[in-house]
Every structure is written in C-alpha cells, then in structure tokens.
Amino acid sequence: MKLNSKIAYSAASLLLAGSTVSAQSLNDAKKAIDAEQYQKAKSMLKNLTNTQATNADNFFYLGWVYALQDYSDSAKAVFNKGIAANPKSALNYAGLGAVARLEKDRAAMTTNFNQATTLAGKDSKPFVYVGKAYLLPVAGATAVPAADANAAIAVLSKGLAVNSKDADVDIALGDAYRSQLKSNEAYKYYSDALTLNGNSAVANVSVGVLWKYANNFEDAEKQFQKALSVDPNFGPAYREWAETDLRWAQTDPKMASAKIKEAADNYRKYLSLTDLSVESRMRYADFLLLSGDYKTLQTEAAALSSSANSNLRIYRYLGYSAYENGDYQAGLTAMNNWLSKADPKRVIPRDYLYLGRLQLKTGADSLGIQSLRKAYSLDSTNADVFAEIAKNYYGKKQYAQAGQAYESYINNTKGAKLQDYLNEGLSYYYAYDDKTHKPADTVYLAKADSAFSHIEKVATTPIAAVALYRAYVNDTKDADRQNIKGLAKPFYEKYIQIVTTKGVTDADKKNLANAYAYLGTFAQYKEKDMAKATENFNKAYEYDPTNRQAKAFLKK
C-alpha cells in the first residue's frame, strides 16, 4: 500500500518542539536520545563534553548518538576521547565495540565488548549498551542475526544479575527477544520494566510494537497513547503509531484510506517533536522506503541530497526511488554518487541490484549484467538477478545466454515456477540454429527438452504449449524426412489430443496443421501407409490451407 504523495510534509509548517537546549544535564540528554531528538541531544552533549571534560560518560552518549545516526567515524573518535578522559570507562569500550560491529570487524568488537564488561563491575549500564550494540542494524541486514541476539541476551542477563532494578536492562532484553520474534519472552521483560517504572514511555511503546506485530492494532494504539500521556513530546510513540497505521492499512483494505491518512498525520507529529534535522528526515525517508511510497521518497530524497550535511545514504534512497518511478537516468546518477563516495563498508548487495537494473534501463547492458552478478556474488539470496539477466538477453535474442541465465536462476532459487522452466526451454530451443549449428550445439536441444519434460512431470494438467515445443525439439533432431525416426510423433499426438479436447481456436490452427503434417510425413515415409498419410495431410490442409507440406502432398 503506497502513501499518497500529497502527505509529504512542509517543513515550514512543522513546529520545532524541543529544538532548543534549555537543560544541560546528562539525564536530560539521555531523555532527548530516547525521544529521538538527536540534534538536541548532540548540542547538549557537546556542551557537556566541554564543560565537564573529565566525565567520560558525556563522551559515550555523544558517540552513541553518532552511532545511531550512521556516522561511525565520528562515533569512534568521540569514544576514544572518552577513553582518554577515563581509561577505565566501560561505556566507551562498549561504544568502540558497537562501531566495530557496524564495520563488521568482529575481532575488534569482541575485544572491546570484553573490556567493557570486565571494567563494568557493579554498573549495569555497560551491559545494557553492549546488549544494545548487538542489536544495532548493520548495513545490508534485514534482521538481527540469531547469534547476535543470543549474545545480547547473554550479556544482558549478566547485567540483570548485577542490577535487577535497572528497567533499561529489561527493555533491552525485550528488544533482543523481539528481534527474534519471541513475543512471549519480549512481553515478559517489557512488563518487568513497567513494573519497575510504570511511567517508562520507552517500555510502553515497546509493548505497543509487540501488539502491532500481532496485528492487535487497537491495543497497540492504547500503548502509544499511554506513552504519550506520560510524555506528550515522546516522538517515537507517534512514529510507531504511524507504522502501526500503515500495517493496519495493508492488513484491512476497509481501513486502508483512513489509516494511511492517520499514518501520515502521526508521522508529521513525530517529525514535529524531533528537531527536523537531516537525521530526523532520514528516518522519515526510512519510513517512506518501508511503506513503498517511492514517489514521496524521491521528492524527499532529492531535497535532502541538496543539503551539504546530508547523510550520503540519501543517494541510495534517491537511486532506489527513481528506479521505481521510472526516472532511470536520475536514479543511475544517484547510485553512482552513492557508490563512489560511500565508505565501501556501507555498501550493501541491494545497491548493486538497483545499480544493475538502472544500467540495463539506460542501455548499459554489459555493466548492468555485471552489477547484477555482483549483487548475487555478495548475497546468494539475490538469485532473482538471473531472471532479470535472462529477460534482458531474451529480449535481445541472445538466446543461449538467456537459457544459461534461466538455468542459473532455477538452480539457485527455491522459488522457480513452471514459467521459469518454460522460459529456459524456449531460450535453449531458439538458441539452436538449424542453419548454422555445430554438433556441440545439440546440447541446447537436450537442455530445452529437459526443461519441457520437467513441466510435463509436475504440471497438474497437460499444457499444450509444452507438448508442442517438445514436438518441435524432437522434430528438429529428426530433420531427415527420408529416414524419419518419429521422435516427435508422441508429442505431436499429445498436442493434438490436448487442443482438440479443450476446443480448437483460430490461434491453434496453424500449429495443428503442422502437427498433422508431421504425422502425414511419418505415415508416408516410415509406415508406408498412404491412406493414413492422406488422412493426416487432409486434416493439416483443413486447419491451414497454406500449409506447404499438405499442399505439396495433396497436389501429387
């Protein structure tokens, strides 16, 4: 379900609630982080790192904001400053471990996490942030790997043993279980957090998210409303409410129109309660991508890409959305921009998928195929690229390459359909040129026949086209009419039986004529049965008076 492009917000109309820094305590900065008021939090924390330069915690929370916003280099620099301020700062080692995980440096991650938990002592917060770090989204991943979720649960359980009264530990444990779709366990820990602190907006929203995924939309809304009753300015409640509305719209068509409008309104409220920073608008872009509203996403991404301090990731979104909207040249420019400027560690297989598609659409076929193959080499779940490559080859009548690509698709995916086997068979059949073929090219006929044969074996009802093409393949093998072996005979007979049973249409007549003409030829040269030959050629002529074989035989 796509959002109406008219919902795109006007920045001038939104209230910059909470955008000024009125309090300078670390607790207020942490509240701003929870509320996703990242710009406000950074301003406060930068001030604290200057006025309280010996407090390593100030550096950690500033670095954590950078990590959340996908600025790994800035995060690492700030965490190192925190360690310089206090070499025994467990939190900053947790931060360095988080950056290492985002950069896919598992050895550095483990070393820093171990150092964090060793230095933690009786402080549960380092355990909380090591656990949270395991759950951070890594570029290219669609979910938290089970191993990371289990590692998060293990370290958070240690944190719970250190301090069973820290609601943040329970919330993080709930998040870890929720990432693995273990709703009962997640609910247990969110409930424990609410028992410790019933006014936790974060915990109330987290329970609402559980109800959202259970499609219990009414109770989800109640939890978001409860969070807002605790803190009317808690933006994430509106964001999750918006995403719940979107899911509701996709699940219940009757509610779609109203819920899409409500989703847009709630997301506008979320934005108004953040700081309308580039990062907040990036989160809006994330939402648009999730919702499939590519039209609005392209407009928003284009606006963000003109900002000097914009996250480079916006070029990825601009490339994706431009492709989906058919604006291929703009999409290609954006993807080239992203891939040439982004840290290679931030590039994901899907980027090459869209790059390849855009290159194909703009005529750079060889580059496009190369990019699609790279997407597959980086992530074997992208086997669909072979179908796209095959379609491109087939459209250009490069049938041998098309057949090979369809074969690769079938061999590398569990989702192959009978149509894919048909496409493979047709490609290989047309790849065999009976005017210029070499002996080795007969492998194409064998592959074509194998593909058609597979369809016959698994199809629930006989398919006329498959029988016909099996006949064509075997007819090609049996080209010497004077010494005809009858390889195609059973397939032509099957074709005739399927078509005449269902009822002959005008589109069937030429093919039927060819089938009867073959049977007439077989009767004439192999069976030496002229009566039978005459009968078949008469039927061929009846269906298609222009059939050359029938006309030639009957003329004699």
User: Does a structural domain hold residue 529?
Assistant: yes
Q: What is the secondary structure of 93-146 as a DSSP string?
A: HHHHHHHHHHTT-HHHHHHHHHHHHHHHTT-SHHHHHHHHHHHSPPTT-SS--H
The pLDDT value given to residue 415: 79
User: Does a structural domain hold residue 539?
Assistant: yes
pLDDT tens, 507-545? 999 999 999 999 999 999 899 999 999 999 999 999 999
**How far, in Å, CA of 133 to CA of 221, rounded?**
28
Residues of the domain holding 537? 480-556
Q: Would you place residue 263 in the very low, low, confident or very high pLDDT band (cuts 50, 70, 90)?
A: confident
The pLDDT value given to residue 23: 42
Q: In the predicted model, what is the mean pLDDT of residues 286-295?
A: 82
User: Does a structural domain hold residue 501?
Assistant: yes
The average confidence (pLDDT) of the chain is 90
Instruction: Examine the pLDDT at 478 and tell me if it is beyond 50.
Output: yes
Whole-angstrom CA distances from 192 to 135, 168, 456, 552 are 20, 10, 58, 90
Instruction: Examine the pLDDT at 333 and tell me if it is beyond 70.
Output: yes
pLDDT tens, 111-158? 999 999 999 999 999 999 999 999 998 876 778 999 999 999 999 999
- Asked whether the beta carbons of 23 and 35 are under 8 A apart, the reply is no
Q: What angle do CA 117, 120, 122 make, to 5 degrees?
A: 125
- Asked whether the beta carbons of 549 and 517 are under 8 A apart, the reply is yes
CATH number of the CATH domain containing 536 = 1.25.40
User: Does a structural domain hold residue 500?
Assistant: yes
Q: Exposed, middle or buried: residue 536 (CB in 10 Å: 0-12, 13-18, 19+)?
A: buried
**How far, in Å, CA of 139 to CA of 146, rounded?**
16
Residue with more model confidence, 176 or 475: 176
pLDDT tens, 44-87? 999 999 999 999 999 999 999 999 988 999 999 999 999 999 99
The pLDDT value given to residue 309: 65
User: Does a structural domain hold residue 505?
Assistant: yes
User: Does a structural domain hold residue 511?
Assistant: yes
Structural domain tally of the chain? 1
- Asked whether the beta carbons of 72 and 99 are under 8 A apart, the reply is yes
pLDDT tens, 423-446? 999 999 999 875 565 656 789 999
The pLDDT value given to residue 440: 61
Q: Quick count: other Cβ atoms within 10 Å of Cβ 453?
A: 15
User: Does a structural domain hold residue 22?
Assistant: no
User: Does a structural domain hold residue 489?
Assistant: yes
- Asked whether the beta carbons of 269 and 18 are under 8 A apart, the reply is no
The pLDDT value given to residue 477: 81
